[in-house]
Chain A
Amino acid sequence: MHIASDADTVVARQKGREAALLIGLSRTEATFVATAISEIARNITIHAGHGEVVIREVTEDGRRGMVVVARDEGPGIRDVAAVLRQEYSSDAGLGIGLWGARRLMDEIEVSSAPGMGTTVTMKKWRGIDEVGLLLHE
């Protein structure tokens, strides 16, 4: 999916939710995924102008889940580790999206350097989500 506006972000997170449910994630897990996509797609439009989000199913070691790859050719991030480490602040701006995505997804990998763009690869595995079970099943 091409991401160039905030309307594209809304579409991307809706597609992400649909894909998560199709793969068999719980409704709560699907909301985690949709929220993480919303954050990283916003980072693309704000910092790079445009980029893409690709969603696919993944099977690894008998586990089933989904992978979301967000890619842009924007200015990149100088210190990825510092961004992922920071404490929450409502004024955090750039960092808050990646930080939140890390907490919502099971795995996240950020590949970036100044001038080299940014690629965020994040995974969510199908699993037993106790809170989700309590709420919906």
Chain B
Amino acid sequence: MPVSILKQREYLIASIQSALTDTEVLELRDALLAEVAKHRARGVIVDVAALDVIDSFVSRSLSTVARTNRLRGAKTVVVGIRPDVAVAMSQFGLRLDAVHTALDLEAGLELLDS
């Protein structure tokens, strides 16, 4: 899975490195849920700047992570959605239920700290 997951303070930061297959998206979802529990993380940042497509499958998987984390008291912030990807998601009508968003990693950390 081309994703690195790092722990920084009480947060997890997942950086996606390249396009993901659906199988890899599911691996990322499961890894994030497991790591949040293991590290008792209070927040998760998922950097999606490397994704040139965010479709219904990716959106649903991110929402699943966010809803599950929320039940466990952790916030999920998606950062780095490309401008063209944001326009496509909006046109599609995709919703990221329970997901917080921020422009970039720095803004995502600020959001978690606030």
Contacts and interface: CB of A to CB of B under 8 A. Distances in A.
Most buried by B among A7, A27, A31, A136: A31
- Interface secondary structure of A, over-half rule: helix
27 contacts: A5-B21, A6-B21, A7-B21, A10-B19, A10-B21, A28-B83, A28-B84, A30-B84, A31-B53, A31-B82, A31-B87, A32-B91, A35-B53, A35-B54, A35-B55, A38-B53, A39-B56, A42-B22, A90-B59, A92-B56, A97-B56, A100-B92, A100-B93, A104-B88, A104-B92, A132-B87, A135-B84
Interface in A88-137: 88, 90, 92, 96-97, 100, 103-104, 131-132, 135-136
Nearest to A102: B92
A80 B57 CA distance: 21
5 cross-chain pairs, A with B, having the tightest CB-CB distances, nearest first:
A6-B21, A6-B22, A31-B84, A28-B84, A38-B55
Given A6-B22, A31-B87, A38-B55, 18 more contacts: A6-B23, A10-B21, A13-B53, A14-B52, A17-B52, A31-B82, A31-B88, A32-B91, A35-B54, A42-B22, A42-B57, A88-B94, A90-B60, A96-B56, A100-B56, A100-B94, A135-B83, A136-B83
Contact of A103 (B22, B54, B84, B92): B92
Interface residues of A, number: 30
A13 to B, nearest CB: 6
